[in-house]
Amino acid sequence: MSYSYLSHLDCPQCGLTYEPDSVQQLCSCGSPLLVRYKLNEAREQWSRESLNRRKPDLWRYHELLPVRNPAYTVTLGEGMTPLVKLPRLGKDYGIAELYMKDESLVPSGSFKARGAAVGISRAKELGVQKLAMPTNGNAGAAWALYAARAGIEATIVMPKDAPIITRSEVALAGANLYLVNGLISDAGKIVGQAVADMGLYDASTLKEPYRIEGKKTMGIEIAEQLDWEMPDVILYPTGGGVGLIGIYKALQELAEIGWVQGKLPRLVAVQAEGCAPIVRAWEEKKEYSDFWEDSVTSAFGINVPKAIGDFLVLKAVYETEGKAVAVSEAEIVAEQEKVARLEGSFICPEGAAAFAAARKLSLEGWIKQGEKVIVLNTGAGIKYPDTVQVNPPLLEIGERIPSDTTSRSTH
Amino acid sequence: MSYSYLSHLDCPQCGLTYEPDSVQQLCSCGSPLLVRYKLNEAREQWSRESLNRRKPDLWRYHELLPVRNPAYTVTLGEGMTPLVKLPRLGKDYGIAELYMKDESLVPSGSFKARGAAVGISRAKELGVQKLAMPTNGNAGAAWALYAARAGIEATIVMPKDAPIITRSEVALAGANLYLVNGLISDAGKIVGQAVADMGLYDASTLKEPYRIEGKKTMGIEIAEQLDWEMPDVILYPTGGGVGLIGIYKALQELAEIGWVQGKLPRLVAVQAEGCAPIVRAWEEKKEYSDFWEDSVTSAFGINVPKAIGDFLVLKAVYETEGKAVAVSEAEIVAEQEKVARLEGSFICPEGAAAFAAARKLSLEGWIKQGEKVIVLNTGAGIKYPDTVQVNPPLLEIGERIPSDTTSRSTH
């Protein structure tokens, strides 16, 4: 029994392989590298029953994670988030088996903590002392916080329009924080230059191979939470797309070690109409996406005009007979309210986009009667205070609530 | 085997007992009521091993919760939050065995979700359709959200200075929201009047007996996470004090059913110097606290000038040979930063108060070498954006990060 069945890294573009126990960034061909495991050994030696005695966090799957020595694990208890059944919303959509995988319940309030926990742990194991990354906010917050716990120095660059609270998270963690008067793609260029100038570890999306390994645990958890039965459809709000790539990778690995059987779920990449490069590529049946000019959406985490892993996202969608769907800003806002009113969950705008897509695809009949559907809510709505406008009445001390108030119906 | 061993309600002041299967608020003597269980039956019939196969949420302890029929359970997957070891902070404090019970990882980002989940579930089981409550923000947010999922109409009154984001949570959930130009005690009076005027269910702190049952699961979880060994000290930021009362109740119940042995941990009630009625009462060895005039603290959740359950808090502190401690605003701010820099966790100001108290008590020698210490972080720092001031440099597109940046050390 190994703690990790880590084997090597390989390139999904040119097929080159790399040994994993020193720092590797992109392949020499420019593609992201993927982590590979000795799945045959895992299949023979590891059993689902071993999980019963383990803590409810993502490290319960350490055999399929890249950290070799548990002493390097940097954890704040992330993972095993709830898979919540949503009967009232499901009725509204016409989806009897509707579930939310609720990624607001992780440190820093977004699913980015998964990638940060595994990415930082592995960076620590490899001896990294300084890293840099561009971010739309939440990833930078998560990486800055885990880096602090690991004693790694982080430099974070984010668009000035990224959620304000993520600045506080980065700064409080003691990281070096810069804003850029542009988009994440502009932040990426600044980080690239800094990496070259100062010899930093480049923790940009998919420029190190381990973040995806953290994200893939969402897929393993969904499988475990459904008792190792596959759902029919998984909807995922897609910016860089690492979560979707990770979920696909997880389910393939689980199939290979024999823990799940049958057809993989159809994976749906959801984007905003104001930034939908993956959707356009999918509609045109292309392998890669084009840079989306003048992108804009309130779902800031998916404002990614060109993702380095676009071809991996599109491959996952094509191979599972999934779909790429864009939703409007109005649909996002409306769906965020709907989920709160019917199910009591204050989801983030990115999650709301995925829910809006589920509604649409059910209406269109693409999601069929009786299918089991999982929607990823990638973070906490409380990180986006400006998405909700509130003007409650102000009472003076001793004043009464007008008695017709409670005749206002809940929706 | 019963789903719940619920027996009856009793009054800790006058001893009167009540049947639990209709709506009960305070005792006729004005005291809060406590929920009692058939602990002898539970002791005989229920085993710790039964937990192994259950989901990692607070409902795994349903035998000691008041909901009789699981069909009425309103859950978003709350509970079984991480118990995180903090080695670097512990070193700084001189506490080798320092742990954080991290209550930021629950729906709505604060431990109030526990009380709301159990309180709302039981209210639904009892047929409640409309409720009202005063709040310092987070409890109102949690109750509004769970009420929405339950289809119960909620009216929430909060001070205008309560965390702004909690307004959004309440409003988005579709509840009736009022601000008051005063403190939670003023909000409480307005709610009292509304309850009388409109015949609402009064969900104020300890005015219904079930919120405490949700909060007590923190105590059960701590015990389970420590393999049913008691810690030595638990520090809890104390406003209304329900969590501390609940943890004490939980540990007593666990001792009675034989799941834990030995001395209960010393319970420490932590308050802010600007609002420390429990601390003053404890110093004067009193049974009750006096109303704290002109209370003020940035740790808004513990700005409670007079708690209805003060005598229960003080009893728990006296009986466990615990302590009540006040910390300054400066200590709160400094400790929030320290926890982020050393351990990568962005805790709330109330949690920071409890950490500051741990530091103090270790320095004073009240916490001794080798003792196992648990600090409650009651919520996510991201709900309090104003506690951190950040002014990061703004770069233009294509600009470089100055190369001396990363010489800045992390603290």
DSSP H helices in A199-328? 211-225, 242-256, 277-283, 310-319
What ipTM goes with this model?
0.95
| Res B387: pLDDT | 85
Chain A residues whose CB is inside 8 A of the B193 CB are: 400-401
Residue labelled with tokens 């070096």:
A176
Is the pLDDT reported for residue B276 higher than 50?
yes
Q: Where in chain A are the domains?
A: 83-109+211-384
pTM across the whole model: 0.96
Residues of B in contact with A160 (CB under 8 A): 394
The beta-carbon neighbor of A179 closest among B88, B176, B394 is: B394
DSSP H stretches of helix in B291-348: 310-319, 329-343
User: Between chains, do A75 and B83 touch, taking CB under 8 Å as contact?
Assistant: no
Backbone dihedral angles phi then psi of residue A202, each to the nearest 5 degrees: -90, 105
First CA to last CA distance, chain B? 54
Three-state secondary structure call for residue A36: strand
Q: Looking at A135-288, which runs of residues are DSSP E strands?
A: 153-159, 176-180, 201-202, 233-237, 266-272
Secondary structure element (H or E) that encloses residue A8, with its range: strand A6-10
Q: Which of B57, B390, B394, B407 is the best residue to mutate to test the A interface, defined by the most A CB atoms within 10 Å of its own CB?
A: B390
Pairwise CB contact (< 8 Å): B408 & A76? no
Tokens standing for residue B93: 């404090």
- List the 286-315 stretch of A: residues with Cβ below 8 A of B: none
Return residues 190-209 of B near A (CB < 8 Å). 190, 193-194, 197-198, 200
Residue B404 is classified by DSSP as T
Reference A173, options B378, B334, B345, B86; nearest CA is B345
Report the alpha-carbon distance of residue A411 to residue B175 in Å, rounded: 10
Residue A110 buriedness (CB in 10 A; 0-12 / 13-18 / 19+): buried
**CA gyration radius, chain A:** 21
Name residue, tokens 């993702």: A307
Residue A409, C-beta contacts closer than 8 angstroms, at least 6 positions apart? B153
Series of mean pLDDT values for 10-residue runs along chain A (411 residues): 95 97 96 98 96 95 98 98 98 98 97 98 98 96 98 97 94 97 95 96 97 98 98 98 98 98 97 98 98 95 95 98 98 98 98 98 97 98 90 94 60 34
Show which of residues 18-77 on chain A sit within 8 Å of chain B, judged by CB atoms.
52-53, 56-57, 74-77
- Its CATH class, for the domain covering B83-109+212-383, is alpha beta
Q: List CB contacts of A391: < 8 A, sequence separation 6 or more.
A: none
For residue B78, CA distances in Å to A51, A58, A101, B107, B275 come to 21, 17, 13, 6, 30
Query: CA B287, CA B271: separation in Å to the nearest integer?
Result: 17
Is the CB of B406 less than 8 angstroms away from the CB of A180? no
Distance CA A36, CA A195 (A): 26
Residues contacting B16, CB < 8 A, separation 6+? B10, B27, B28, B29
Q: Which residues are CB-neighbours of B44 under 8 A, at least 6 positions away?
A: none
Count of CB atoms situated within 10 Å of the CB of B304: 27
Residues in chain A within 8 Å Cβ distance of B200: 406
> Quick check: A153 and B344 CB within 8 A?
no
Residue B376 contacts residue B101 (beta carbons within 8 Å):
yes
Residue B406 pLDDT level (bands cut at 50, 70, 90): low
Give backbone dihedrals phi and psi of B216, rounded to 5 degrees, phi first: -65, -20
Mark yes or no for CB contact B168/A390 under 8 Å.
Answer: yes
Measured torsion, CA atoms of residues B196, B200, B203, B209, in degrees rounded to the nearest 10: 90
- Structure confidence by residue, pLDDT tens digits, B348-367: 999 999 999 999 999 999 99
| Cα-to-chain-centroid distance, residue B93 | 24
Is 3.40.50.1100 the CATH classification of the domain at A83-109+211-384?
A: yes
Determine the residue of chain B that is closest to A142 in CA distance.
Answer: B344
Q: Residues 110..149 of A with a Cβ closer than 8 Å to B: which?
A: 130, 132, 145-149
pLDDT digits (tens, 9 = 90+) for B118-175: 999 999 999 999 999 999 999 999 999 999 999 999 999 999 999 999 999 999 999 9
How many Å apart are CA A97 and CA A85, to the nearest integer?
A: 7
Tell me the sheet residues that pair with A34: A10
Cα–Cα dist B83/B101, whole Å? 5
Token representation of residue B313: 């808090």
The per-residue pLDDT for A192 is 96
What pLDDT shows up at residue A238? Answer: 98
The pair of three-digit structure tokens given for residue B271, joined into one six-digit string: 């308050």
Helices (DSSP H) in B29-93: which residue ranges? 39-45, 87-93
Residue B276 CB coordination number (10 Å): 25
Q: Which structure tokens are listed for A68?
A: 């070799």
Give the gap in angstroms from C-alpha B319 to the nearest C-alpha of chain A. 32
Task: Note the pLDDT of residue A409.
Answer: 37
Pairing of the two strands B394-395 and A176-180: parallel
Closest to A249 measured CA to CA, from A276, A211, A205, A281: A211
Q: Which of residues 76-115 of B touch A (CB under 8 A)?
A: 76-78, 80-84, 88, 102, 104-109
Beta pairing partners, B234: B267, B374
Would the pLDDT of B410 be above 80?
no
The mean pLDDT value of chain B amounts to 96
A257-262 contacts at long range (C-beta below 8 A, 24 or more positions apart):
A257/A39, A257/A42, A257/A43, A257/A46, A258/A43, A259/A48, A259/A223, A259/A228, A260/A223, A260/A228, A260/A229, A260/A230, A261/A230, A262/A230
Distances (CA, A) of A373 to A267, A338, A357, B290: 10, 18, 12, 54
Q: How far apart are CA B313 and CA B306, in angstroms?
A: 12
Residue in B with minimal Cα distance to A116? B344
A166 forms beta bridges with: none
- Could you tell me if B200 and B133 are in contact, meaning their C-beta atoms sit under 8 angstroms apart? no
pLDDT digits 0-9 by tens, B208-252? 999 999 999 999 999 999 999 999 999 999 999 999 999 999 999
CB within 8 Å of A79: residues ≥ 6 apart: A56, A57, A58, A59, A60, A106, A114, A117, A217, A221
